Structure 1
Amino acid sequence: MTSTEQTPDTAPVVARLSRLDRFLPLWIALAMGIGLLAGRGIPGLGQVLDAVQIDGISLPIALGLLIMMYPVLAKVRYDRLDTVTRDRRLMWASLVLNWILGPALMFALAWIFLPDLPEYRTGLIIVGLARCIAMVIIWNDLARGDREAAAVLVALNSVFQVIAFGVLGWFYLQILPGWLGLEQTALDISAWQIAKSVLIFLGIPLLAGYLTRKFGEKTKGRTWYEKKFLPRIGPAALYGLLFTIVILFALQGDQITSRPWDVARIALPLLAYFALMWTGSFALGKGLRMTYERTTTLAFTAAGNNFELAIAVAIATFGVTSGQALAGVVGPLIEVPVLVALVYAALSLRRRFEGKPA
């Protein structure tokens, strides 16, 4: 992630990536495999990792996410955020995609693909309600999206998540199914549980990134900060991502590997969801004549989901061994490789998007 901005823009897209980034799919596949094997092969590892938590927040996962997000948020030029908030097309498009179309699409896909599996269906609907505020930061950065726009949109999603998650859960699990004559499900979730997730997974790294840039530029200047300091901390984001993936899959490795057919059933609507949300959002950004950077940010923030919150809600409401919890766990199993592939898809579309030869 550190060398992508130092190679001439005339070079091929992949050549502009650092060696660490260029083999990202390999590193992520290895991390997923290590996590699954560790969770399956080391007796009691999942229980030990799951026990290391405070007030329902897994400390290993929180640590990995904080390490992952801090370098990216330290790159944000916070003095430029007003240029994002003035972009009404971007703000409204993000709100509509994230809080109207996204949940509605996941609801429809869950019922289409899983009409006979109510637990998994409910878990997927919960995933659709949890809009991404964490890992999307790194996908956007790898795809060379607009960092300032990503910071604003995830903050916007965070506010709406606290306000709207419970209401939308009530609507999509009880009210709308009742109108359509479908099975209804109750969801008991407190606003504090959602706010706590937002504060930990976004608030802490956002504050740290802001303070680092503010005091780093004040003492050493912007040139030193961006040319010397940021390249040093940049690789930590990928290390944090890989650590998070290993821990996440070690925690749930036994569930995933012991029910392969169920995982496959859950994976199908997820694959459809990520493909439709990303391509639709990218096409919308292009249609609204946004820049490549902001179109990419719009697509990734709309396609990603807050799996940490979805899993926490499913476990708190239905139990750790429930089908709802398994659906939440399968979310990142599918989301991580799919969004990595979409990073490369975005990079390959960049020149065509800007009207340049590939």
Structure 2
Amino acid sequence: MDLMGRGQPILIMAAAIIGIVLGDVTPLGAAPSTAVEIFLMMLLFVLFLSVDLRKVSGSFANIRFTGAALAINFLFTPVLAYLLGIIFFPDSVDIRIGLLMLLVTPCTDWYIVFTGMSKGNVELGLSILPLNLILQIVLMPVYLLVFIGDGADMHTASLLVDMAVVLAVPLAASLIFKRAFGTHERIWNALSEKGDHLQLLFLCLAVAVMFASEGDTLMDNPAMLLELFIPLLIFFTVLLAVAQAIGRGLGFPRRDIVSLNFTTLARNSPLALAIAVATFPDSPLISLALVIGPLIELPVLSLISAALLKWNTKEGPKTSDGCP
């Protein structure tokens, strides 16, 4: 992980502080939610450029790994997220929605970095990326309806339309871009090298604009970072233990268990934030929870990565042919 990667939590926090200051002294404080949405859609455009959706079938090359990852990500995790929301935020539907949206979206980028840092099976982790992306988009409205339902001011038709717009536009743009510049090797080399930096840039811009327009909400909820710390710490601890137990129970090599750990631990906060801004523009606490999430998540994942690296290399690197 390069310097920008290691400093992502600091950069996000700096963007938030800059946004609050600009919101007080410039007209940016009156920026509409669509301004945040534009930057997030640009982020998603860069993200979709890096994902080859044609490789979804590759997820099934290792049936046991794919089955374990999908069961944890899309069956166990939503229930755990719902329980944490009910236990810690029984009186705040908005924070429960934000927490749920954060925790039911598996990461599509940073988890590969942490897998590599821990000497895990990167190729195996990459194989499930397209399937994770498709399922989290399809299942997001289902989770909101099942676990939140009438508890929020949410209309199913509007939710689906807003999600379709914020996701379909960058997806369509990425497909057009790939078709137009698919043979330009220099462009793709540059995107491969700087893609994560571009995603971070657009995320920071979105955070700055959001905090500029919602600075009052943050000032009214200064303890929210601390309030989210304990449930998120419980989430990562439980998921780490569950993935370790399942991986060992299925007889996975250590490299594969590390990959399973990060495939199920890391979360896709930019995607969730883009959906939240589009579908809940009048509920700033939801977006605030999704911005605060990575400030806690990334340092925790860094500590877990160091621990898994030590465990994974304790008796020498383990190998796997990636077959069932």
TM-score with structure 1 setting the length:
0.68
Equivalence for 1:280? 242
Separation in 1 of the partners of 2:14 and 2:173? 28
Q: 1:210 to 1:280 in 2, by over 3 A?
A: farther
Match of 2:14 in 1: 34
CA offsets, 1:28-63, max 9 Å, x none?
Answer: 24312321221122234465595446xxxx333344
Matched residues in 2 for 1:200 and 1:340: separation? 33
Q: Residue 49 of structure 1 contacts residue 251 of structure 1 at CA under 8 Å; is this kept in 2?
A: no
User: What CA distance in whole angstroms lies between the structure 2 residues aligned with 1:125 and 1:46?
Assistant: 28
Structure 1 pair 275–249 and aligned structure 2 pair: CA distance change class (3 A): farther
Match of 1:266 in 2: 228
Correspondence for 1:118: 93
Once the 2 structures are TM-superposed, how far is the Cα of residue 261 of structure 1 from its aligned partner? Answer: 1.3
Q: How many Å separate the matches in 2 of 1:210 and 1:151?
A: 23
1:241-297 deviation digits (Å, cap 9, x = unpaired): 542452243134434465221332233212221232234224422432323443233
Partner amino acid for 1:150?
Answer: G
- Greater mean deviation of Cα atoms: 256-265 or 233-242: 233-242
Structure 1 residue 196 displacement after superposition: 5.2
1:299 CA drift (Å): 1.9
Partner of 1:61: 40
In structure 1, distance between residues paired with 2:304 and 2:175:
25
Moved over 6 A (4+): 200-215
RMSD: 4.0
2:201 counterpart residue number: 243
- Give, in whole Å, the separation in 1 of the partners of 2:58 and 2:45: 26
Whether 1:303 and 2:283 are equivalent positions in the alignment is no
| TM-aligned CA distance change 1:32 to 1:91, over 3 Å | same
Per the TM alignment, residue 328 of structure 1 is displaced from its structure 2 partner at its CA by: 2.7
The range that moved more, 196-205 or 299-308, is 196-205
Q: Secondary structure at the match of 1:352?
A: coil
**Matched letter for residue 205 of structure 2:** I
Q: What is the aligned residue count?
A: 308
**Cα distance in 1 between the residues matched to 2:240 and 2:180:** 32
For the Cα contact (< 8 Å) 1:73–1:205, is it kept in 2?
Answer: no
SS in 1 for 2:148: helix
String of CA shifts for 1:290-318, please: whole Å, max 9, x gaps. 23443233222222333234334444444
**3-state SS in 2 of match to 1:93:** helix
Q: TM-score, normalised by structure 2?
A: 0.74
Q: Does 1:171 align with 2:146?
A: yes
Task: Give how far 1:112 is off.
Answer: 1.3
Which range moved further: 88-97 or 261-270? Answer: 261-270
- Superposed counterparts of 1:339-354, under 5 Å: 339-352=301-314, 354=316
Q: How does 1:41-52 map to 2 (within 5 A)?
A: 41-43=21-23, 44-45=27-28, 48=31, 50-52=33-35
**Is the partner of 1:260 in helix, strand or coil?**
coil
More divergent stretch after superposition (255-264 vs 35-44): 255-264
Q: Aligned equivalents of 1:262 and 1:306: distance in 2? A: 20
Note if contact 1:133-1:202 (Cα within 8 Å) is conserved in structure 2.
no
Helix, strand or coil: the match of 1:305? coil
In 1, distance between residues paired with 2:161 and 2:35? 21
Which runs of no fewer than 5 residues in structure 2 stay unpaired? 319-324
**Which residue of 89, 95, 100 maps to 2:70?**
95
1: CA distance, partners of 2:162 / 2:117? 30
| Distance change >3 Å, CA 311–CA 83, structure 1 → 2 | closer
CA contact (8 A) 1:129 1:169 kept: no
Match of 1:154 in 2: 129
How many percent of aligned residue pairs carry the same amino acid?
A: 21
**SS of structure 2 residue aligned to 1:42:** helix
Gaps of 5+ in 1: 2-19, 175-182, 217-224
